[in-house]
Amino acid sequence: MKASLRQSMAWLHTWSGLLLGWLLVAIFITGTSAYFRDEISFWMAPELHQSVASEAAPRLAWEQLNTTAPNARNWLIGLPDERHPVVELRWQPDTPEAQENRRRRGERAEMDASTGEILEPRASRGGDFLYRFHFELYGVPRIWSRWLVCVATMFMLVAIVSGVITHKKIFKDFFTFRPGKGQRSWLDAHNATAVLALPFHFMITYSGLLIFMIMLMPWGINAAYEDGWRGFFAEVFPREEQTTGAGAPAAMIDDIQPLVARAEATFGQPVRYIEVEWPNRDNALIRVSTAKEATITDRRRGGAPSLSFDGVSGRLLKTDPGTHPSDGVAVRIYNLFVNLHLARFADPATRWLFFVFGVVGSAMACTGMLLWVAKRTQQLRGKAPGFNLRLVNGLNMASITGLLAAMAVYFAANRLLPAALEGRESWEIRAFLLAWLATLIHALWRPHRRGWLEQLAALAALWLAVPVIDLATTDSHLFSAIAWRHGALAAFDLVCLGMAAGAGYAFWRVAGHTPARKPARAARPRRAATGDTP
């Protein structure tokens, strides 16, 4: 192949982008939503919405666990915070089966933080479905889907590097966007979303690969650690193992509140977790820990400042100011990338900024794929598009508007499916997949401008329907969320309205698209009217 470096890179960029672009768009869009995984899960469990964080939460949780699981092996009380205003109760029963699977989670319940009532949210995978879809899709054996996403990520890295080499005037065209010029405009938009957020695209892709490296290629770990995975995780996430057995039955302190107050006074931070080992035994141990100060190069789960108390007398046993074990440089760099990928440290404002990053990344992938079609449509100079072009256009449609429409259907299904339905959480996912399949069939049937208009109209209608259905079926709809000053719930509905507005605007732009300015594209609507539709 006689071509300059730039030409061969352009070829590489075009075809690697096209080949895995559809998958990458889905990865980007679901990954963007995953920044608000907890908020989405919360929105999808309206039974929890009545809970309001309260001072009484530790006491209520204490009473509840003393009633429900007085003789468990351990308790874990997760106190409410801004992202999740519900008390999480977890415990492991002291039975032989539970001993067998000590790493398993055990029992779990959610409790209203101000009334102490046990809440029973409808069965739903919530934000976790979208989060999991982001890196292992759905319905495919995990090992295959993860490898597939890993390969797509690798191609994304190839596309980034080859794209930078291909781009002729990165700095000269840094601020350039020329609207209304067909292919040229798509190229400018693709460049702007790619170049301005280039550090983000590089970071998210490279860190994605690092995560997969650990997930899929454990050979290095197997070589370095005698017991492979277990040894690696023991080093990265050290846990204090319970060593003692159960003591003789003994009543614990009645009131947990003073211990919580003492920890808050000691560390000047709200308490997040209360752990109890061997509750209601004479060797009961209570550990009250606060939120860990977020450090971007640290991702150990332990190490939060905590106070340990004797469970029976309430005497302070140990003050642990929180540890940040000093990792090697390699581990810290790995942690840095992974934490940035997951926005694990982020306060709400920073989380929103990462969400915007994700939107920009999705826009980059989408504009790139639309550019592929725009360029080839322009080259036709009015001739009818061939099978390949129609196929790509249809697949673009299904992967962009189709996926977004399916997400709206997923959220609507959460509100519309009866709470008592057998296998409810699978039905939500089925609704998502069926909606996506429907858009794919529609897109392949009508892979042209009219098809886009129809999908955009459906998209706007569906996203508008989500807050409306929410209004009709729950008490915690947009208006009450605003009245309660519940930011996350209100934001969810507002983002839905924003999506509807965005789809509506896109519809209006495509509908008002004037053929006179782009003669090459004028053939498409005419052909659509006369030609290939039954």
Partner 1 sequence: MTLLPLTWTLGYAGLTALALAMKRHHEAMLGSKASEARLRGFRVLGWALLATMTAGCLMVWPTGLALWMAFGMVAFAGLPLVFLLPYRPRLAARLALGLPVIAAVFGLMPG
Choose one: 41-49, 168-176, 251-259, 302-310; the region binding partner 1 (CB under 8 A): 168-176
Q: Where in 122-141 is the site for partner 1 (CB under 8 A)?
A: none
Task: List the x/- string, 190-209, binding to partner 1 by CB under 8 A.
Answer: --xx--xx-xx--x------
Contact 158, 11 (CB under 8 A): no
Q: Is residue 98 within the footprint of partner 1 (CB under 8 A)?
A: no
Q: Is 350 in the site for partner 1 (CB under 8 A)?
A: yes
Binding mask 297-336 for partner 1 (x = CB under 8 A): x--------------------------------------x
* Token pair recorded at residue 91: 């415990």
d(CA 519, CA 256): 75
**Nearest CB to partner 1, comparing residues 294 and 437:** 294
**Nearest distance from C-beta of residue 192 to partner 1, angstroms:** 5
- What 3-state class would DSSP assign to 293? coil
Does 353 engage in binding with partner 1 (CB under 8 A)?
Answer: yes
CB of 201 to partner 1, least distance (A): 10
Stretch that binds partner 1, among 66-74, 245-253, 356-364, 484-492 (CB under 8 A): 356-364
Token pair listed for 532: 């290939």
- Decide: is 296 part of the binding site for partner 1 (CB under 8 A): yes
- Spatial CA neighbour of 90 closest among 272, 250, 275: 275
DSSP state of 398: I
| Position 420 contacts partner 1 (CB under 8 A) | no
Contact between 295 and partner 1 per CB under 8 A: yes
Contact between 534 and partner 1 per CB under 8 A: no
Task: Using the minimum distance from each CB to partner 1, give the nearer residue, 307 or 340.
Answer: 340
Which residue shows structure tokens 């999908």?
455
66 binds partner 1, rule: CB under 8 A: no
Locate 356 and state its tokens: 């915007």
What residues pair up with 306 in beta bridges, in sequence order? 289, 320
Q: Exposed, middle or buried, 130 (CB in 10 Å: 0-12/13-18/19+)?
A: buried
- List binders of partner 1 among 171-190 (CB under 8 A): 172, 174-179
Nearer to partner 1 by Cβ, of 179 and 268: the residue is: 179
Tokens found for residue 520: 């090459």
CB nearer to partner 1: give 247 or 502. Answer: 502
Q: Of 206 and 232, which CB lies nearer to partner 1 in the complex structure?
A: 206
Separation in Å, CA 150 to CA 129, 143, 272, 336, 497: 18, 10, 35, 20, 33
Among 1, 265, 330, 349, binds partner 1 (CB under 8 A): 349
Closest Cα to residue 20, out of 118, 110, 155, 112?
Answer: 155
| Least distance between partner 1 and beta carbon 396 (Å) | 21
The number of C-alpha atoms within 13 Å of 134 and in the hemisphere containing its C-beta is 25
Phi/psi class of residue 217: alpha, beta or left (left: φ > 0; alpha: ψ in -120 to 50)? Answer: beta
Is 357 near partner 1 (CB under 8 A)? yes
**Number of chain positions touching partner 1 (CB under 8 A):** 28
| CB 356 to partner 1: min, Å | 6
**Interaction of residue 345 with partner 1, rule CB under 8 A:** yes
CB closer to partner 1 out of 51 and 367: 367
- Element of type H or E holding 475: none
104 lines the binding site for partner 1 (CB under 8 A): no
Q: Are 236 and 211 in contact (CB under 8 A)?
A: no
Q: For residue 403, which of 134, 92, 115 has the smallest C-alpha distance?
A: 134
Joined together, the tokens standing for residue 32 give 């963007």
**What is the Cα–Cα distance from 159 to 20, expressed in whole angstroms?**
10
Residues binding partner 1 (CB under 8 A): 172, 174-179, 192-193, 196-197, 199-200, 203, 294-297, 336, 340, 345, 347, 349-350, 353, 356-357, 360
